[in-house]
Amino acid sequence: MLLVVDVGNTNTVIGVYDKDRLAVSWRITTKKDRTIDEHGIIFRNLFGLSSEVKFEMVDSMIISSVVPPVVPPLSEMARKFFKVTPLIVDSEIKTGIKILYDNPREVGADRIVNAVAAFNKYGGPTIVIDFGTATTFCSISKDAEYRGGIIVPGIVTALEALFQKAAKLPIVELKKPVSVLGKNTASSMQSGIIFGYAGLVDGLVSRIEEELGETSFVVATGGLAGVISSESKKIKEVYPLMTLVGLKIIYEMNS
């Protein structure tokens, strides 16, 4: 079985593939200072929750990470507990995607993996929007070229900044308000976040398409993709586990 691990700034998403089937997936909090043994205990406990997959069934592993300090202990954990040497996604790994960034090393591993999964499923031109700690936009051409992207503060990041910087603004539930014009502080903030980010998404996608002179298929992923997609005119589909799919594809390309 293949263990796939995507380390994000806020959450780490883990999946186990039984051949072509994603048998199980989990989401845990990312912590930079976990030791090798702490990682091992967490993974053993997660496998203990499943009746489909067992710890000893894992015979291969791939990791993508945007948090560099997590990679060494996670890799050592794989060798110590699973007896496998993990494949690490970086700018040198074979992906089938040509990176057109000025410096390809600057492109986050998660963005590369998403580009691979999106192109594999939809072809191009495609725009991938990942709603995470940051909200990222990535453009992939019909010739499998990663043409560039956009990075803006993530939804929760923006909401937390409002709470921390404005003394009278509370933390609110991320849900669609009944109207655009709020009648209280909570609904006003919800409108700003939900409708504001939907407008941001549609506006930036329109600018990308105008600059490229073509229409793209727009797909969203990440924990909050569903919250915004229903209010966006540009997002055509939500692909929740895109990164795990991309990791499997990259592993197969390089194994």
- Does 143 belong to an annotated binding site? no
Dihedral, CA atoms, 170, 185, 204, 125, nearest 10 degrees? 70
101 is in an annotated binding site: yes
CB burial string 226-242: b at 16+ within 10 A, e below = ebbbebbebbeebbebb
110 is catalytic: yes
Q: Is 13 labelled a binding residue? A: yes
E strand map for 66-202: 87-88, 98-99, 126-131, 134-140, 145-153
Please tell me whether 243 is known to bind a ligand.
no
Minimal CA–CA distance to 91: which of 77, 72, 67, 110?
Answer: 110
Is residue 112 classed as helix, strand or coil in its secondary structure? Answer: helix
Q: Which residue has the tokens 């967490």?
A: 42
109 is in an annotated binding site: yes
* Residue 185 is assigned to a ligand binding site: yes
Q: Is 254 a known ligand-binding residue?
A: no
Token couple for 51: 């009746």
Residue 6 is assigned to a ligand binding site: yes
Q: What whole-number distance in Å separates Cα of residue 100 and Cα of residue 122?
A: 20
- Angle CA(130)–CA(135)–CA(137) in degrees, nearest 5? 65
Q: Answer yes or no: is 95 a known binding residue.
A: no
Q: Distance (Å, rounded) from C-alpha 129 to C-alpha 245?
A: 16
Query: Choosing from 33, 110, 143, 202, which is the catalytic residue?
Result: 110
Specify the pairing of strand 126-131 against strand 60-65.
Answer: unpaired
Among the listed residues 63, 116, 110, 123, the one whose alpha carbon sits nearest the alpha carbon of residue 222: 110
The answer on whether 12 is annotated among ligand-binding residues is yes
* Rounded Cα distance, 219 and 120, in Å: 13
Residues within the annotated binding site? 6-13, 101, 108-111, 130, 133, 185
Active site residues: 110
Residues within the annotated binding site for K(+)? 130
Residues within the annotated binding site for substrate? 101, 108-111, 185
Residues within the annotated binding site for ATP? 6-13, 133
